[in-house]
């Protein structure tokens, strides 16, 4: 497993992460097997959110109840969670009260004294960045949160936050898979009239994150689009799967590893956030951590997914 020091922190982190959004209905044994399989593959970084699960903090609580981590076991994981979505609405809330209350709820549900990383989940149109800064300062001073980041944010939203927040923003979690890659594909086909791929949807977020040492975390790395099922093995993507299968044979790894390698090959040094609840798929995906696809292979996958290389 490839690891690196997460810029803006002193944490050594793997470039593949286990997301725990889908564990609500799993038994204690199943959760333990999933997390232990990830650990054995070097995946010591866990991604949660207050809203994952059927009720508030549901998946965080499910995790803690199944794992029952001792203090020394807890220290071996980087635990990241998120705040800012109010499911009953839905709406977004970056107020001081909401952020602090959510973190306190996560600490209680996760049965831990501290979060390694807190992300603001989705941009709040009514954000008051001074309030966010005050919340971050208080959470940091209380030892409740070690580092801060965001998710699904644009460069200008980040500029606004960074004007007030004193801690480094260390991560931006964004949707990215071979078949859902507008934030990469736009730059490849900039300024082309009549080509949908050329439309700027995120104001150049990948380059912005690289310029400011903000680590991109790729969520839904196997989903074709927005939660509409995986592209691996899907009859909707025959050309892409043919290329993936050929590269799987060449490198002697499962298809999941090729899908992960397409992201880890990007020089922005991204982290891939897996969401599978199947231990075998976690082990398979981990094999893509340090698999250096060649430039022609990377572009062949990109073209086979339907993107234009003008």
Ligand X SMILES: NC(=O)c1ccc[n+]([C@@H]2O[C@H](COP(=O)([O-])OP(=O)(O)OC[C@H]3O[C@@H](n4cnc5c(N)ncnc54)[C@H](OP(=O)(O)O)[C@@H]3O)[C@@H](O)[C@H]2O)c1
- Residue 180 CB, shortest distance to ligand X, in Å, is 9
Contact with ligand X (CB under 6 A): which of 38, 115, 247, 274?
A: 274
Q: Contact region for ligand X (CB under 6 A) — 62-70, 164-172, 195-203, 270-278?
A: 270-278
Under rule CB under 6 A, which residues in 22-61 are in contact with ligand X?
A: 22, 47
- Residue 288 CB, shortest distance to ligand X, in Å, is 11
- Residue 173 CB, shortest distance to ligand X, in Å, is 4
By CB under 6 A, tell whether 151 contacts ligand X.
yes
Nearest-10 crossing angle of helices 295-304, 255-264: 110
By CB under 6 A, tell whether 220 contacts ligand X.
yes
Which of residues 245 and 296 has its CB atom nearest to ligand X in the complex?
Answer: 245
Contact with ligand X (CB under 6 A): which of 37, 102, 112, 152?
A: 152
Contact with ligand X (CB under 6 A): which of 37, 106, 154, 173?
A: 173
Under rule CB under 6 A, which residues in 182-211 are in contact with ligand X?
A: none
CA-CA distance, 268 to 255, in Å (whole number)? 22
By CB under 6 A, tell whether 221 contacts ligand X.
yes
Q: What is the 3-state secondary structure (H, E, C) of the chain?
A: CCEEECCCCCCEEECEEEECCCCCCCCHHHHHHHHHHHHHCCCCEEECCCCCCCCCCHHHHHHHHHHCCCHHHHCCCEEEEEECEECCCCEECCCHHHHHHHHHHHHHHHCCCCEEEEEECCCCCCCCHHHHHHHHHHHHHCCCEEEEEEECCCHHHHHHHHHHCCCCEEEEEEECECCECHHHHHHHCCCCCCCHHHCCCCCCHHHHHHHCCCEEEEECCCECCCCCCECCCCCCCHHHHHHHHHHHHHHCCCHHHHHHHHHHCCCCCCEEEECCCCHHHHHHHHCCCCCCCCHHHHHHHHHHCCCCCC
Which of residues 51 and 185 has its CB atom nearest to ligand X in the complex?
Answer: 51
| Nearest position to ligand X, beta carbon | 275
Q: Contact region for ligand X (CB under 6 A) — 153-161, 203-211, 237-245, 273-281?
A: 273-281
Which of residues 208 and 222 has its CB atom nearest to ligand X in the complex?
Answer: 222
Which of residues 24 and 308 has its CB atom nearest to ligand X in the complex?
Answer: 24
- Residue 178 CB, shortest distance to ligand X, in Å, is 11
By CB under 6 A, tell whether 14 contacts ligand X.
no
| Positions that interact with ligand X (CB under 6 A) | 19-22, 47, 151-152, 173, 219-223, 230, 232, 256, 273-278, 281
């Amino acid at each position: 497993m490839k690891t690196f020091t997460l810029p803006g922190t002193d944490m050594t982190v793997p470039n593949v992460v286990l997301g725990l959004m889908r564990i609500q209905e799993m038994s204690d044994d199943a959760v333990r097997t999933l997390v232990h399989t990830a650990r054995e593959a070097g995946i010591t970084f866990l991604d949660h959110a207050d809203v994952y699960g059927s009720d508030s903090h549901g998946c965080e609580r499910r995790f803690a109840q199944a794992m029952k981590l001792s203090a020394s076991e807890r220290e071996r994981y980087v635990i990241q969670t998120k705040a800012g979505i109010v499911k009953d609405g839905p709406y977004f809330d970056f107020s001081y009260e909401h952020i602090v209350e959510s973190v306190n709820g996560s600490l209680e549900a996760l049965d831990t004294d501290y979060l390694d990383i807190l992300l603001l989940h989705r941009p709040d149109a009514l954000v008051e960045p001074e309030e966010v800064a005050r919340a971050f300062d208080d959470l940091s001073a209380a030892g409740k949160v070690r580092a801060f980041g965001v998710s699904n944010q644009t460069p200008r939203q980040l500029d606004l936050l960074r004007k007030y927040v004193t801690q480094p923003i260390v991560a931006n979690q964004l949707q990215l898979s071979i078949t859902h890659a507008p934030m990469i594909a736009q730059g490849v086909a900039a300024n082309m009239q009549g080509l949908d791929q050329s439309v700027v949807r995120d104001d150049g977020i990948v380059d912005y994150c690289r310029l400011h040492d903000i680590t991109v975390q790729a969520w839904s790395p196997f989903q074709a689009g927005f939660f509409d099922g995986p592209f691996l093995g899907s009859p909707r993507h025959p050309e892409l799967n043919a290329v993936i299968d050929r590269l799987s044979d060449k490198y002697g790894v499962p298809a999941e590893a090729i899908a992960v390698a397409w992201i880890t090959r990007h020089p922005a040094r991204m982290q891939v956030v897996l969401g599978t609840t199947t231990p075998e798929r976690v082990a398979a995906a981990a094999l893509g951590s340090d698999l250096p696809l060649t430039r022609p292979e990377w572009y062949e996958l990109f073209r086979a997914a339907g993107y234009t290389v003008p």
